[in-house]
Amino acid sequence: MDVMYHSSSFLLPTIPADNGSALTYALVVLNQRLPRFTPLLWKHAQLRLCADGGANRLYDEMPQLLPHEDAVAVRNRYKPDVIKGDMDSIKTEVLDFYSNLGTKILDDSHDQDTTDLHKCISFIRDFTPAAEKSDLCILVAGALGGRFDHEVGNINVLYRFSAIRIILLSDDCLIHLLPRTHYHEIKIQSSVEGPHCGLIPIGMPSGSTSTTGLQWDLSKYFSHIIPILCFLLFAELNWAQIILGFWFCLVTNSCRPRLALSILQPFHQNRKIGCRVIDLFIFLINDGIVHLYLDVVHDDYWQTNIEALTGGHLNSPWWQLIIEALTGGYLDPP
């Protein structure tokens, strides 16, 4: 089995010649607070993208990271090559500003099946010549923190693009995938990272994991992942076939015991659903992840069969009602 080498040398002012210098870096800025080292990532990247509202963060926060420089000069210097996404978050004045500077604007509002990060990764993959893909490393700034469903979606992208090196970054953490197809050697940049690290099995249990160099090493360690997390985050094709059409929900607000969702109760066409949006995440597993953010009023009661509700078709009348609920409407039977 081949060895895959990993290093966080992109966090250093200068990348050592023998430490990741062969990699080609691309940077994606998401719509979360910029890490304090974003200017350094920008310097190392050869291609820079903003995912939709990430352009707002770049425009507003980059001058704050360089307070001793003129804000206008900073904004002009840190101009993304591409802004890509469904354009539901970027401010008009920010879009116009970067467009006038020559940034390429790619409006993917027609595609509501993938996240903005997924769209950006796809663009970078297609933009990179085949001969250079093995040396590509994509840095994602602002990938952690904020809404949990966004974090889950970002982690899902690691799994969906497992053939590409992708590193999710925030001020405090970085996450990358260690594919089971390789042995992995990680060079620690102790001046900028550590001392803590975690190994989390994703998508399936870890059958045999061994490490060297950690304070507490693993030796042929077998580890399970919580089953619902395994389903919620990632599903391999054979798993997806088993649970095809099933929905899982994660309630993130204090929705009280009165809020209930059951896939065991029969669905009745005449049942009044009265479910107003506030804070419910619903995930569909179907050869990957399609996730949707819904809100639910705490005092309303919802108990129905979600599989029957959608009929397994995203263009069903029920699905349209769910989409309408995003604007603050009620879910009532059609």
Q: 11 with 95, same domain?
A: yes
Mean pLDDT, residues 276-290? 33
Determine the Cα–Cα distance for residues 264 and 84; give it in Å rounded to an integer: 41
Specify the pLDDT at position 207: 64
What's the pTM? 0.65
- CATH classification at residue 97: 3.40.50.10240
Question: Quick one: 159 and 50 in the same domain?
Answer: yes
Are the C-beta atoms of residues 163 and 135 closer than 8 Å to each other? no
Are 294 and 187 members of one domain?
no
Torsion sign over Cα 59, 137, 47, 78: positive
Confidence of residue 100 (pLDDT cuts 50, 70, 90): very high
Residue 117 covered by a domain? yes
Tokens standing for residue 71: 């804000």
Strand pairing class (289-294; 280-285): antiparallel
What percentage of the chain carries pLDDT values higher than 90? 34
Confidence check: pLDDT of 273 > 50: no
Give 157: exposed, middle or buried? Use CB within 10 Å, 0-12, 13-18, 19+.
buried
Structure token pair of residue 118: 């997924």
Q: Is the pLDDT of residue 293 over 60?
A: no
In this structure, the strands spanning 183-187 and 3-7 are parallel
Same domain, 103 and 192: yes
Structural domain includes residue 222: no
pLDDT confidence of residue 194: 72
Residue appearing with tokens 């297609």:
126
- Is 230 a domain residue? no
Q: How many other CB atoms are there within 10 angstroms of residue 91's CB atom?
A: 13
Whether residue 43 is found in the same domain as residue 141:
yes
The last residue of one of the domains, among 197, 225, 253, is 197
| Residue of 195, 197, 196 lying closest to 178 (CA atoms) | 197
Domain residues for the domain of 322 are 237-331
**DSSP H stretches of helix in the chain:** 38-44, 54-65, 71-77, 92-100, 116-127, 148-160, 227-233, 237-242, 306-310, 317-325
Best CA proximity match to 224, nearest among 201, 243, 258: 201
- Which residues pair with residue 324 across a beta bridge? none
**Residues 157 and 259 grouped into a single domain:** no
Q: Look at residue 163 and tell me if it is in a domain.
A: yes
Helix, strand or coil, per DSSP, at residue 217? coil
pLDDT in tens, 120-170: 999 999 999 888 888 899 999 999 987 888 888 898 898 889 889 999 999
Residue 206 included in any domain: no
Instruction: Write the pLDDT tens digit of every residue in 156-202.
Output: 898 889 889 999 999 888 888 887 777 878 787 777 777 777 777 76
pLDDT in tens, 38-50: 999 999 999 999 9
Q: Are residues 38 and 180 in the same domain?
A: yes
Same domain, 264 and 136: no
* One domain for residues 180 and 284: no
Give the pLDDT band of residue 237 (cuts 50, 70, 90).
very low
Angle at 36 between CA 30 and CA 42, to 5 degrees: 65
Answer whether residue 83 is part of any domain.
yes
Residue 226 domain-assigned?
A: no
Q: How many domains does the chain have?
A: 2
pLDDT above 90 (res 25): yes
Q: Over the stretch 46-92, which tens digit does the pLDDT of each residue have?
A: 999 999 999 999 999 999 999 999 999 999 999 999 999 999 999 99
CA gap 80, 78 in Å, rounded: 6
104: its two tokens? 């390429």
Q: Same domain for 254 and 164?
A: no
Residues 39 and 163 in one domain: yes
Residue 17 lies in a domain: yes
Query: Are residue 29 and residue 95 in the same domain, yes or no?
Result: yes
Residue 313 predicted with pLDDT over 80: no
- pLDDT at position 302 over 60: no
Chain mean pLDDT for the chain: 69
